[in-house]
Amino acid sequence: MSRFKLLDTPTFRLILLSSAIFGLSVSVMFGVMYVAVTRSMERQVDTEIQNEIASLSDNDGRMDRERLVARVQGRIARHNQTGLYYLIEDEDGTVMAGDLPALPVPFSGTYDLPSPSEDPDHVLHAVGISLPNGINLLIARDVFALDEVSDLMERTFAAGVILTLATALLSGAFVSRRLLHRLETINRTSREIMSGDLGRRIPIDGNDHDFDELAINLNDMLARIEDLMNGLRQVSDNIAHDMRTPLTRLRQHLERARLSGGTVDEFRNAVDVALLSADELLETFGALLRIAQIEARVPNSGLKPVDLSAVCTLVTETYGPVAEADGHNLNAAIVPGLVVDGDQQLLIQMLVNLVENAVQHNPAPVDIRILLHHAEKSGPVLILSDDGIGIPPEERENVLRRFYRLDAARSTQGSGLGLSMAAAIAKYHGAVLTLEDNKPGVRVVIRFEGNYRS
Amino acid sequence: MNILVIEDNRETADYIATGLETAGHSVMVAEDGPEGLRTLHRESFDLMIVDRMLPGLDGLSVVQLIRDQGMTLPVLFLSALDGVDDRVKGLKAGGDDYLVKPFSLNELEARVDALGRRASISGKEVLLRAGDLEMNLITRRVTRGAAEIDLLPREWVLLEYLLTNKGKLITKKMLLEKIWGFHFDPRTNVVETHISRLRHKVDKGFPVELIVTVRRFGYMIREPV
């Protein structure tokens, strides 16, 4: 990864910006501290010199020439102890005492003087006063130690800033590289998916919570898109293969009638038969579209509370006589008042499809049972069972597919869409539909997991 | 009846117009929403059939507009949209019935008849009658001649609906929608089975059959001559 690219990443730039702001605030803080410390040190020097001036005075505050000169000479002799420099000149500028080079009089005020040691690093801070008796007194202090403190502060500060910036840059580079790496993985996966490999998923790293969450969400989205794509593909396949057969049959029927029909009644009969099969075709089309619509809906969206118990009761009441007319027996055990978030029409259709399957696909009389109860963990569970011919275990997945029909069912009526529609409706409701062995017969179990209102 | 059809697809419009005219209605066709509204204000109609998807102004808005203007004529929606929400929206906008395309002419005619009748009934009748069959909506008793007939709740609703529409063809689809609330076609003979049960109670042992099957299309209660 080139440095140039790193500079382009927003993360890195963000980190740079925040380190710059941090550096600036540290500088301001340091500046304030620096000024405060140097000021205070300078004031200390001033105070020291003022005190010295006071101690050179007589008790009454005045300064006698001879005594002053004597005192200063005494101080100069002990120079090493005080670290102070002195200069006394009379009104004509003649040096009376001192260890500093002569200065033009009068010299009241504060000065910075070069040190008599001629070391350029050493600077003297001097205060001069003109006394009323014509004497000019100057006391100076070598501030080399103070300058050293300032220098030390400056150096420390520079090192600190450089260290801070370096750390910020390094950590920024590290974090950005990591981010870029993950983003690159996501980008690469997206490109692979766009180029046709719909089954690809973004790897989940396991130690980066935010990115893993993003990856999981993206993967879920991809799974949903793949589902929809497959649904679409399946519908076009279905139209191409399964709808062609009845259409061909219809066409052949009309052709035969055209060739061999003689009387108006014969034609009328032929048209009636053709209308009937056209209606069946339309119905199959409708069912196919409906399944596609249900599958395209966002699961659990636009649902309203539906009394599932009432739906079961309605279907039981309605289909009891229908089952009976075919020699079957339909009974139910329904726990009342179970409500789910749902689409009432679809839930009715789901149960109707299941009941009709049981009624139609069992040639011999069977007991059909609708069972609705509430399971502690999974919410409402709807079971539709019969003790009829059943579905072989290896076919249980297949019968959920569109247009798939068991050999045993080929002679009976039906489009082969009932179960797949029921499964699609269940899925839309956040429910899971499974086929189980009822020993004998089949048991369709629909668990409304994650969709329950008490 | 005087019927206004608002439908932008000319073929469908012709199909509807020809069918309804054959059944003795007089039909006028408008090709879009605004034209439909103008026609509606120019002439008087007994019923309106309106497609939901129209250029200019869609069917829902047309019906909402005329309902806001206080027009009460019955409205039948036609739609290629078969979602439950779509139907609910259509009825909420002020439609009286909702028919999903494609539909058969018989289905359309039966619904037009039912809607026309609904408009002509003023207030609810208390006593429904066909021949010697009597249904009292207040005492909740059904008698045929001297015999009392016991009905289950849904059989009651079924008979009441058929009697209210006495002399009109009621399609299986209409019964499924009105009596059971099923807006899809079941594969088994749900309607046939329940009609047969009702017939067993109402017609069995009587010389005249009141509940008549119209082959392949539906049922009606016929007043004996």
**pTM: predicted TM-score of the whole model, two decimal places:** 0.66
Last-in-domain residue among B85, B119, B153: B119
Note the pLDDT of residue A245. 80
- Specify whether B166 is located in the same domain as B79: no
Report the C-alpha gap between B199 and B196 in whole angstroms.
5
Note the pLDDT of residue A451. 66
The yes-or-no verdict on residue B172 having pLDDT over 60 is: yes
Question: Mean of the pLDDT values across residues A102-126?
Answer: 79
The DSSP code for B208 is S
Note the pLDDT of residue A117. 75
Question: Mean of the pLDDT values across residues A273-290?
Answer: 85
Point out the least confidently predicted range of A31-45, A409-423, B27-41, B124-138: A409-423
Note the pLDDT of residue A1. 45
- Specify whether B41 is located in the same domain as B98: yes
Report the C-alpha gap between A292 and A230 in whole angstroms.
11
- Specify whether B133 is located in the same domain as B179: yes
Please tell me the distance in Å from B4's CA to the nearest CA on chain A. Answer: 27
Note the pLDDT of residue A2. 46
Where are the strands (E) in chain B, listed by range?
2-6, 26-30, 47-51, 75-79, 97-100, 127-130, 133-136, 141-144, 147-149, 170-171, 211-214, 218-221
- Specify whether B70 is located in the same domain as B163: no
CATH of the domain at B41: 3.40.50.2300
Indicate yes or no: CB of A321 within 8 angstroms of CB of B194: yes
Average pLDDT, chain B: 89
Residue A418 with chain B: CB contacts under 8 Å: 187
- Specify whether B190 is located in the same domain as B133: yes
Question: Mean of the pLDDT values across residues A5-27?
Answer: 79
Q: In chain A, pLDDT over 90 holds for what percent of residues? A: 20
- Domain count along chain B: 2
Note the pLDDT of residue A211. 82
pLDDT interval class at A160 (50, 70, 90):
confident
- Specify whether B11 is located in the same domain as B108: yes
Q: How far is CA B220 from CA B152, B160, B213, in A?
A: 20, 12, 7
CATH of the domain at B185: 1.10.10.10
Chain B residues within 8 Å of chain A (Cβ atoms): 82-85, 102, 104, 154, 180-190, 193-194, 196-197
Contact by Cβ (8 Å): B61, B82: no
Average pLDDT, chain A: 84
Last-in-domain residue among B64, B85, B119: B119
Note the pLDDT of residue A413. 63
DSSP letters, B21-40, are: HHTT-EEEEESSHHHHHHHH
Note the pLDDT of residue A4. 53
Q: In chain B, pLDDT over 90 holds for what percent of residues? A: 53
Please tell me the distance in Å from B223's CA to the nearest CA on chain A. Answer: 28
User: In whole angstroms, what separates CA A386 from the centre of its chain?
Assistant: 49
- Specify whether B137 is located in the same domain as B165: yes
Q: Could you tell me which of A148, A146, A145, A166 has the C-alpha nearest to residue A156?
A: A148
pLDDT interval class at A299 (50, 70, 90):
confident
B182, two tokens: 């099923």
Note the pLDDT of residue A353. 94
- Specify whether B112 is located in the same domain as B140: no
The yes-or-no verdict on residue A424 having pLDDT over 70 is: yes
Note the pLDDT of residue A24. 87
Note the pLDDT of residue A365. 93
Residue in A297, A314, A322, A413 to test binding to B, most B beta-carbons within 10 Å: A322
pLDDT tens digits for A67-80? 888 888 888 877 65
- Specify whether B112 is located in the same domain as B9: yes
pLDDT tens digits for A164-216? 888 878 888 888 888 888 888 888 888 888 888 888 888 887 777 788 888 88
Question: Mean of the pLDDT values across residues B104-133?
Answer: 81
Q: Which residue of A has its CA nearest to B176?
A: A318
Q: Could you tell me which of A304, A437, A387 has the C-alpha nearest to residue B84?
A: A304
Please tell me the distance in Å from A251's CA to the nearest CA on chain B. Answer: 20
Report the C-alpha gap between A361 and A410 in whole angstroms.
9
Note the pLDDT of residue B120. 60
Note the pLDDT of residue B112. 92
Point out the least confidently predicted range of A177-181, A361-365, B211-215: A177-181
Task: Identify the domain containing residue B214 by its residue range.
Answer: 127-221
Residue in A275, A318, A351 to test binding to B, most B beta-carbons within 10 Å: A318
Q: Which residue of A has its CA nearest to B100?
A: A286
- Specify whether B141 is located in the same domain as B59: no
Note the pLDDT of residue A410. 62
Point out the least confidently predicted range of A87-91, A299-303, B44-48, B155-159: A299-303
- Specify whether B14 is located in the same domain as B112: yes
pLDDT tens digits for B16-41? 999 999 989 999 999 999 999 999 98
Residue B102 with chain A: CB contacts under 8 Å: 282
Last-in-domain residue among B119, B148, B163: B119
pLDDT tens digits for A235-281? 788 777 777 888 888 999 899 888 887 788 888 888 888 988 888 88
Note the pLDDT of residue A30. 86
Question: Mean of the pLDDT values across residues B166-183?
Answer: 90
